[in-house]
Structure 1
């Protein structure tokens, strides 16, 4: 699974040359399709039962879905809103702080329970071989998390930074609930802020994904998670390369139309 970062960086730089003002609608659709997939998969990993078609009905068509709990509906709406929030953060040049993380979490759990408040109880992660720090240490752990994040920005490449941010946040588990969804948003914030495309984790790979997070939580070693994220980035880029064929076809057609006109 190990993939050289330089190879991914070169592929990323190539992907970033795709954009063309005449084809902005194509790229907008690509982004829209990804956000739908990310929202569906990130919530499904946590047990949400809405199908991709139901998520689309809620987010794009603006309709509710009969027979589903309001919590599940709010989860997908909130995840979409939180993704928009981190995109706006990047646009404004906002850095990651404790307050911004609390804001993200508050959006993730809006209309479900009060978010943005660190837990005041000890928690266990089902199936994990490590225990998150005691609740009395969460504030200190989060301050250290931001301190380490700032240092790691200077020393790690963007994929390593995203891996550390995701894994360390999960290890701390600062909130009562919503940590997984928040951590995947933070991961994508790190990737997008550094010019990389965001990724989504297929729920079918949940066991492997949890295993990598658990390995970090137990050993403070992010190697396996980093390799997994790198693999997913390459996978996402292969999808974009397929789109390139369609885009090049559209470009050729536009050129022909201009000549004919």
Structure 2
């Protein structure tokens, strides 16, 4: 039921948020108030509540969500020890250094020292000499992250678990930006194209963008890396249809930006942003350890804020580049609390201190590695023939459905593809497997071929027994 806005506007907003213990977007708050007033007025009231410590936020700009005081990581009255004790009760155990970082950023933003971008934070890092992750941590990650598979081309492991990875990483990365889709909603969207009711359209767009970006990384495992091609295209895929300025998609930032609830002021000069961006990529590319490389990107790319928006999303998927290329377990941020991740990132922004974010990274990777070890075990050993021709099989089936082709046309097309693109000794088996895939297509599995529901329906009418 919509709630009238009484004279005490701040109390009315708090009453609305009491019904959203898991957080609410600006649009949800506005809709719950019969007379919310001008947009700027409501925004002013929300900022005032955050500044006073009566509300908390996660996410940035349009993705920001508001939380009632008293939820999981709300500010704690009292001294630093009391705040640190509250942090210690969170899901992720923090080191003493990490607790100190979180205790600092738990303070109201007005009490924290305003800071700007410090170039020396990037300049001081020397690949393979400087390390954000210690020797023991890197050894532990290598132990848990390497699946028991034979030597294989880059991207092989990610392809084996792609269907599960798409859902896990798309949902968790979106959730860390305040997206309110549930895991089930996400699965239905990615598998069936079913948009959840009662959610903003941009939430569905965000998740679909993640799917496209993940598939881009996995499909191009041999070509991706820490270079402009990968980073800019990754941003273009993740930011598609989400930015106020469509020309900013896949382009370095030309405007000043701010980060709500943070005392950090990002770099503003376009030439300096570009110069630092190129240096950041070159430094990342020179790092030999894949886990250090991944964490370096999670630290340095959001700190630079090279894009108008979507910076943290780019950093989270970029952190998976070395995992995909080295056939390591991916990092999908399973169970990472939104608020702790945001505050740990603020610690990097405001203090150039990676301790809290490192704690989050280490815990998150261990969770992810365990999950995908179990997933792979449940899948069993993959068919080496299907694995070798995975991309060609998927493309061929997709082309037949999109055409749409009937059975006779499909057989002709399969024969031509096999003759032109498959080794002679494998052609008959390729055709047999492709036909089996076509015969097994139904409404519950066609999305894995990047086929839209309308295309599947049209093809189904053509695909009749001869």
TM-score between the two structures when normalised by the length of structure 1: 0.79
Residue of structure 1 aligned with 2:260, choices 126, 130, 138: 126
Q: Displacement of 1:207 after TM fit?
A: 2.2
- 2:368 paired residue number: 236
- 1:109 paired residue number: 239
For residue 337 of structure 2, give the secondary structure of its aligned residue in structure 1: helix
Q: Displacement of 1:183 after TM fit?
A: 1.2
- Is 1:149 the equivalent of 2:284? yes
For residue 242 of structure 2, give the secondary structure of its aligned residue in structure 1: coil
Gaps of 5+ in 2: 1-92, 96-135, 381-466
CA contact (8 A) 2:224 2:321 kept: no
- Is 1:75 the equivalent of 2:224? no
- Is 1:59 the equivalent of 2:190? yes
After TM superposition, the structure 1 stretch with the greater mean CA deviation from structure 2, 132-141 or 73-82, is 132-141
Partners of 1:194 and 1:219 in 2: CA distance: 32
Q: Displacement of 1:241 after TM fit?
A: 4.5
CA contact (8 A) 1:18 1:244 kept: no
CA contact (8 A) 2:234 2:314 kept: yes
Residue of structure 1 aligned with 2:358, choices 223, 226, 235: 226
- 2:274 paired residue number: 139
Q: Displacement of 1:170 after TM fit?
A: 0.3
Greater helix share, structure number: 1
For residue 40 of structure 1, give the secondary structure of its aligned residue in structure 2: helix
For residue 320 of structure 2, give the secondary structure of its aligned residue in structure 1: helix
Q: 1:126 to 1:61 in 2, by over 3 A?
A: same
Partners of 2:278 and 2:378 in 1: CA distance: 47
For residue 60 of structure 1, give the secondary structure of its aligned residue in structure 2: helix
Spell out, residue by residue over 1:167-222, the C-alpha distance to the aligned partner (whole angstroms, 9 max, x if none): 11100111111112111111111332233211122465122222322222234343
Residue of structure 2 aligned with 1:4, choices 118, 137, 149: 137
CA contact (8 A) 1:45 1:206 kept: yes
Gaps of 5+ in 1: 249-261
For residue 224 of structure 2, give the secondary structure of its aligned residue in structure 1: coil
Spell out, residue by residue over 1:100-155, the C-alpha distance to the aligned partner (whole angstroms, 9 max, x if none): 2111111112233421122222112122332221143211221121222233x24x
Matches within 5 A, 1:148-187: 148-151=283-286, 153-154=287-288, 157-187=289-319
Partners of 2:180 and 2:379 in 1: CA distance: 35
Spell out, residue by residue over 1:4-32, the C-alpha distance to the aligned partner (whole angstroms, 9 max, x if none): 3223312333x23399xxxx9xx84x442
Bigger radius of gyration: 2
Runs of 4 or more off by more than 6 Å in structure 1? none
Spell out, residue by residue over 1:36-58, the C-alpha distance to the aligned partner (whole angstroms, 9 max, x if none): 02111111211222222221111
CA contact (8 A) 2:293 2:322 kept: yes
Partners of 1:106 and 1:95 in 2: CA distance: 16
Higher relative contact order (CA 8 A, sep 6+): 1
- Is 1:199 the equivalent of 2:331? yes
- Is 1:100 the equivalent of 2:234? no
- 2:445 paired residue number: none
